[in-house]
Chain A
Amino acid sequence: MTVTPKTLQILMALAEGPLHGYGIKAAVEDRTGGTVTLGAGTLYEGIHRLLRAGWLVEVEGGIEDAPPPGGPPRRYYALTTEGREAARQELCRLAEVVRHGEAQGLMEDVS
């Protein structure tokens, strides 16, 4: 499974602990200041793929996060070791790219 920018966002959102679907979406938007948004379809498509790849598992949610009255039960997702590893590899790859860019002086204007 390849790590697309959006799946990486999902993986990173889950780094600090389990979240439900909407929580992932909100976390991504929060962290990127709204520059990256996940559409509902893309979000659950990604979750579906990550679950199948074994990078995510479904876990039990906390009581304080009870679903809204009348709403569907919330499912929580957490990173597996493989998922954490995949995110780490992808981030290292990106860091490598950044280092190359720096070495070529492409980032001089960016402080």
Chain B
Amino acid sequence: MGRLIIEVLLRFYPRGFRRDFAAELRGTIYRDRHRARNRAGFAWRIRFWTSLICDNLGAALRLRWDELTSQDNRLGFSGTLLDDVVQGQRIFLRNARFQLAAVFLLALGIGSSAAAFAVVDGVLLEDLPYPHPERLVQVGARPPRNPEWMAPLSEATFLAMRQGISQLEALAAVSSATRVLRGIGDPAEVWVGTVSTGYLDLLGARAFLGRTLQPSDHEAGATKVAVLSSTVFENRFGGDPNVLGSVLDLSGEPVEVVGVLSPEFLPPPGIRGRTAALWTPLGLAQRELSPILHLDVIGLVRPGATPATIQEEVSRVLAERRPAETPAALRSDGRVETLRSRVLGDTGSAILLAQGGLVLLLLLTCVNVASLLMARASARRPEMAIRSVLGARRERMIRQLLSESLFLAVLAGGGGVGLAVALVRWFKAMAPDGIPLLPTVTVDGEVLAFVLILSLVSSVLFGLLPALTSSRVDLAGILGKSGPGRTDSRAAAATLRFLVVGEVSLAVVLALGAGLLANSFFHLTRVDLGFQPDGLATMRVEMRGSDLNRENPGPFFRQLLDEGREISGVSSAALAYAIPILGHGWSGPFTPQDLDPSFGDHGVSVNINAISEGFFPIMRIPILEGRPLQEEDGEGGEPVVVVNRAFVGSYWPHVASAIGRTVEETGGRERRIYRVVGVVGDVRSRPGSGAEPTIFFPVDHLPDLGVGMSLLVRAEGNPTQLAAPLRDLVRRLDRSLPVPEVTTLTSLVQNSVVEPRFYALLAVGFALFALILALAGVYGTTSYAATRRTHEIGIRMALGADRGRVLRGILTGTFCAAIAGVTLGLLGGGLGAKYLGGFLFGIEPLDVPTYTVVALVIGVTVITSAFFPALRVAGLNPAVSLRREA
């Protein structure tokens, strides 16, 4: 591609110069390029290409200018491409305002589509940054009740698969958990990725310092070691290489730092360990295997094998393992998917959608500039006619018009590159976390090439249409009967009207998309979460980080709760294992009494939460039946639970009252039976999701879960003011704990809709661009058409036509075009809206109010934008309007 750009640049030089210097110039450019390539990095590439283009275009234009103005050449106009460009430049200066508008609009379109290209290219088309990306797969289980989920595997199953699947060349597993990191600086909570042998190698992770993990680290009796991510190495250890060999305290366990991973290593998004600050060996040989399903497993497919055939083998291994596994793993089929599709997930469609919007926008830009140039070209028909009378050939005139638009396109391309860089930067800053590979997206040489092609193609397109119509000069028509350029040819007027229809309909499609997404976002923010987040602050305390209270956290949490209530400004407080919006939830297998046999005989997996008394009132979750949990329900009392409405609806749909019924815990070592004492309202874990069946236990009943709890406080005033006293409280009660973050529930709720808000904003941005472009286009074309008819209108008014009639005459065409455009746009938008379905919440893709509002807003603005220029012409004094073109 770069070669093509260089060759195109060389064509800009005058022929004589090219003959003398092209070979040398080319050689020098290639040597420069070679040097720029060795200095890897995006900034250098950008710098190289921009300076190359500016330098050569500048030199070429100066030489051309010299040639044009030097004595011996003045008359011998050599007739090459660049002469036309220079001519175009003059014409540009003559109509600066019009041309600037065209350049601006074109730059807008080119910039936005180049940015979209950069993102789509980087996220969807680029290979994953691992060795053999096309052969990497994720292996997991497909739970029958949740077939969309890639369920993790147990350690024993992973080992069995390593032995039993012949079509995989390698198989490796990863899990992750938070730990408290002590050693240098304050204690901090970090994510730790624990990996099987070969995991880091499979992803091609290299050590920046020291080494990565090796098989001997996993053996029984090996020293506990860890490898740091480059981020934590920079941020926490200040990039100090002496960290190698030091011993860190990881939740009480000493681990030796043996290496730092290179900054290029990007853990696969969507798979455990994506935010890992450090990596430790899973060490399956060092301990008893855990029955928990906690491993994400990736494999390297042997050449020739396909995910489908491997899936059979995976299912076979799962079936063999079944008798030994916990109930949660039962009846799951195997699931094998390429790592690529796992990493991209849903964002692929979101990005395609954004891309679709941008393509529409680009189309709109093209139509827009075409209509402007078209109008312009008609205005120059007299000039063309005179030239043709003086003997200019048609191809020469077409070339002239083409090179004028080439000049526009080059300017717009330059502006477009700037805009693309800005937009990509904005997109990366605004985009919600979790768009995979987005950090690797840059505006690189390929994108620049894309911009170049785009500007050239658009210049040809824009140039060609007006060139063809206006160079087909009807001499008699223009110079003869009606005087120079007095009225438009019917064909030109029809083309203009056609372009207006196109513009309006494209704007309607974009505005519809934006309207639907914005409306859906509005619904999302107003959804009833089932609890009242206002005025609540929360902090999470993980007891595994404590040296003092880890063994017996109960009294600590009790004290935390009691003293939390005493903080001034706190009106009430409660403890909970999981805060709905935070998603620290846990689930486990239970068997509700008289469970319908269709659920099987191994129980059902339900969400578990452990709460203190006062949780339901503080969250304002309604008690629908029975009573809430009370302090006496803790240790020693009868084992009781509260369930939510979704639980009753799912498992006891025909039962008159859930109170007094029992639930059996199926997963634990002993089968405990709990009695239901209350039913509470449903809570959504986030605005877009539904409520899931949940069992609430008293805190003290579940010592396993009690190691991490969130303290919730309701503030009398502003909940953010409670942050400092709450943190002080933790410091005072347990010095060894990492000091937790305090957040308000309102901000958590807002964060949970960041993604839909981003898409809505993006769509509204598109729609605004689109509306501006469409209005500019309609205004421009109407104003042009009206001005062109000044002479005719002058005559008609001089002959006594009244103003209203004239106005109507000018506006009728635009009215019809606007109505046709809106209708077409509504039809197109309606057809396209079904692709938006997955992004909409609370409204249908064919939401009538949205369609009505969009149609009205666009229709009215379009007609208004046509009204002003028409009014101006109709308001002219006939004498003035006749004199204007005389």
**Chain A residues proximal to chain B, CB less than 8 Å:** 20-22, 25, 39-45, 47-48, 71-72, 74-75
What are 19 A-B pairs with beta-carbon distances under 8 A? Answer: A21-B25, A22-B27, A39-B51, A39-B55, A39-B56, A40-B29, A40-B56, A41-B9, A41-B55, A41-B56, A42-B58, A42-B59, A44-B25, A45-B59, A48-B17, A48-B21, A48-B63, A72-B24, A75-B24
Are A40 and B58 within 8 A (Cβ)? Answer: no
B residues 13-55 touching A (CB-CB < 8 Å): 17, 20-21, 23-29, 31-32, 51-52, 54-55
Are B60 and A41 within 8 A (Cβ)? Answer: yes
Q: Closest approach, in angstroms, between the C-beta of B57 and any C-beta of chain A?
A: 8
Are A44 and B24 within 8 A (Cβ)? Answer: yes
Complexed CA–CA distance, A75 and B24 (Å): 8
Residues from chain B with a CB closer than 8 A to the CB of A47 are 21
Complexed CA–CA distance, A11 and B17 (Å): 20
**Interface code B146-182, partner A: CB below 8 Å = 1, 0 otherwise?**
0000000000000000000000000000000000000
Residues from chain A with a CB closer than 8 A to the CB of B20 are 48
Complexed CA–CA distance, A71 and B9 (Å): 20
Indicate which residue in A21, A39, A45 contacts B24 across the interface (CB closer than 8 Å).
Answer: A21
Residues from chain B with a CB closer than 8 A to the CB of A74 are 24
Closest residue of chain A to B54 (Cβ to Cβ) is: A39
Q: Closest approach, in angstroms, between the C-beta of A104 and any C-beta of chain B?
A: 35
Q: Closest approach, in angstroms, between the C-beta of A94 and any C-beta of chain B?
A: 23
Residues from chain B with a CB closer than 8 A to the CB of A42 are 55, 58-59
Residues from chain A with a CB closer than 8 A to the CB of B29 are 40
Given known A39-B51, A39-B52, contact A22–B59 (CB-CB < 8 A): no
Assess whether B62 is interfacial by the CB under 8 Å rule.
yes
What does DSSP make chain A's interface, helix, strand, loop or mixed? helix
Complexed CA–CA distance, A42 and B23 (Å): 15
Further contacts, 10 of them, CB under 8 A, given A41-B58, A72-B26: A20-B24, A21-B25, A39-B52, A39-B55, A40-B55, A41-B9, A42-B55, A44-B17, A48-B20, A71-B27
Closest residue of chain B to A26 (Cβ to Cβ) is: B31
Q: Closest approach, in angstroms, between the C-beta of B36 and any C-beta of chain A?
A: 12
Q: Closest approach, in angstroms, between the C-beta of A77 and any C-beta of chain B?
A: 10
Are B31 and A41 within 8 A (Cβ)? Answer: no
Closest residue of chain A to B33 (Cβ to Cβ) is: A40
Interface size class of B (residues with CB under 8 A): 20 to 34
Residues from chain B with a CB closer than 8 A to the CB of A44 are 17, 21, 24-25, 28, 59
Are A41 and B27 within 8 A (Cβ)? Answer: no
Residues from chain B with a CB closer than 8 A to the CB of A41 are 9, 25, 55-60
Indicate which residue in B9, B27, B32, B62 contacts A45 across the interface (CB closer than 8 Å).
Answer: B62
Are B52 and A40 within 8 A (Cβ)? Answer: yes
Residues from chain A with a CB closer than 8 A to the CB of B55 are 39-42
Closest residue of chain A to B20 (Cβ to Cβ) is: A48
Are A22 and B25 within 8 A (Cβ)? Answer: no
Residues from chain A with a CB closer than 8 A to the CB of B31 are 22
Name which of B9, B17, B20, B28 has the most chain A CB atoms within 10 A of its CB.
B28
Are A72 and B59 within 8 A (Cβ)? Answer: no
Indicate which residue in B17, B27, B51 contacts A72 across the interface (CB closer than 8 Å).
Answer: B27
**Interface code B691-727, partner A: CB below 8 Å = 1, 0 otherwise?**
0000000000000000000000000000000000000
Residues from chain B with a CB closer than 8 A to the CB of A48 are 17, 20-21, 63
Given known A22-B31, A48-B20, contact A40–B25 (CB-CB < 8 A): yes
Complexed CA–CA distance, A84 and B816 (Å): 73
Q: Closest approach, in angstroms, between the C-beta of A69 and any C-beta of chain B?
A: 13
Are B28 and A43 within 8 A (Cβ)? Answer: yes
Q: Closest approach, in angstroms, between the C-beta of A59 and any C-beta of chain B?
A: 15
Complexed CA–CA distance, A42 and B52 (Å): 10
Q: Closest approach, in angstroms, between the C-beta of B267 and any C-beta of chain A?
A: 38
Complexed CA–CA distance, A47 and B24 (Å): 11
User: Which 6 residue pairs are nearest across A and B when measured between Cβ atoms?
Assistant: A39-B55, A41-B59, A72-B23, A41-B56, A45-B59, A40-B28
Closest residue of chain A to B16 (Cβ to Cβ) is: A48
Residues from chain A with a CB closer than 8 A to the CB of B26 are 72
Closest residue of chain B to A44 (Cβ to Cβ) is: B21
Complexed CA–CA distance, A35 and B421 (Å): 26
Residues from chain A with a CB closer than 8 A to the CB of B17 are 44, 48
Name which of A21, A40, A41, A42 has the most chain B CB atoms within 10 A of its CB.
A41
Q: Closest approach, in angstroms, between the C-beta of A26 and any C-beta of chain B?
A: 9
Are A25 and B28 within 8 A (Cβ)? Answer: yes
B residues 45-95 touching A (CB-CB < 8 Å): 51-52, 54-60, 62-63
Complexed CA–CA distance, A42 and B58 (Å): 8
Residues from chain A with a CB closer than 8 A to the CB of B54 are 39
Q: Closest approach, in angstroms, between the C-beta of A42 and any C-beta of chain B?
A: 6
Indicate which residue in A40, A71, A75 contacts B32 across the interface (CB closer than 8 Å).
Answer: A40
Closest residue of chain B to A24 (Cβ to Cβ) is: B28
Complexed CA–CA distance, A43 and B24 (Å): 11
Residues from chain B with a CB closer than 8 A to the CB of A20 are 24
Residues from chain B with a CB closer than 8 A to the CB of A43 are 28
Q: Closest approach, in angstroms, between the C-beta of A105 and any C-beta of chain B?
A: 37
Q: Closest approach, in angstroms, between the C-beta of A65 and any C-beta of chain B?
A: 13
Complexed CA–CA distance, A41 and B11 (Å): 12
Closest residue of chain B to A21 (Cβ to Cβ) is: B24
Residues from chain A with a CB closer than 8 A to the CB of B58 are 41-42
Closest residue of chain B to A46 (Cβ to Cβ) is: B59
Q: Closest approach, in angstroms, between the C-beta of B306 and any C-beta of chain A?
A: 45
Residues from chain B with a CB closer than 8 A to the CB of A22 are 24, 27-28, 31
Q: Closest approach, in angstroms, between the C-beta of B68 and any C-beta of chain A?
A: 15
Q: Closest approach, in angstroms, between the C-beta of A11 and any C-beta of chain B?
A: 18
Closest residue of chain B to A22 (Cβ to Cβ) is: B28
Q: Closest approach, in angstroms, between the C-beta of A67 and any C-beta of chain B?
A: 8
Complexed CA–CA distance, A42 and B13 (Å): 12
Are A21 and B63 within 8 A (Cβ)? Answer: no
Q: Closest approach, in angstroms, between the C-beta of B822 and any C-beta of chain A?
A: 50
Q: Closest approach, in angstroms, between the C-beta of B116 and any C-beta of chain A?
A: 31
Residues from chain B with a CB closer than 8 A to the CB of A39 are 51-52, 54-56, 59
Complexed CA–CA distance, A71 and B25 (Å): 12
Residues from chain A with a CB closer than 8 A to the CB of B60 are 41
Closest residue of chain B to A37 (Cβ to Cβ) is: B51
Complexed CA–CA distance, A48 and B20 (Å): 9
Complexed CA–CA distance, A40 and B52 (Å): 8
Complexed CA–CA distance, A16 and B24 (Å): 22
Q: Closest approach, in angstroms, between the C-beta of A7 and any C-beta of chain B?
A: 12
Closest residue of chain A to B63 (Cβ to Cβ) is: A45
Q: Closest approach, in angstroms, between the C-beta of B17 and any C-beta of chain A?
A: 6
Q: Closest approach, in angstroms, between the C-beta of A49 and any C-beta of chain B?
A: 8
Complexed CA–CA distance, A41 and B14 (Å): 12
B residues 720-774 touching A (CB-CB < 8 Å): none
Complexed CA–CA distance, A38 and B59 (Å): 12
Residues from chain A with a CB closer than 8 A to the CB of B25 are 21, 40-41, 44
Residues from chain B with a CB closer than 8 A to the CB of A72 are 23-24, 26-27
Q: Closest approach, in angstroms, between the C-beta of B618 and any C-beta of chain A?
A: 65
Residues from chain A with a CB closer than 8 A to the CB of B63 are 45, 48
Residues from chain A with a CB closer than 8 A to the CB of B21 are 44, 47-48
Complexed CA–CA distance, A22 and B26 (Å): 11
Complexed CA–CA distance, A42 and B59 (Å): 6
Q: Closest approach, in angstroms, between the C-beta of B653 and any C-beta of chain A?
A: 77
Q: Closest approach, in angstroms, between the C-beta of B735 and any C-beta of chain A?
A: 55
Q: Closest approach, in angstroms, between the C-beta of A45 and any C-beta of chain B?
A: 4
**Interface code B807-846, partner A: CB below 8 Å = 1, 0 otherwise?**
0000000000000000000000000000000000000000
Closest residue of chain A to B24 (Cβ to Cβ) is: A21
Q: Closest approach, in angstroms, between the C-beta of A14 and any C-beta of chain B?
A: 15
Complexed CA–CA distance, A25 and B25 (Å): 12
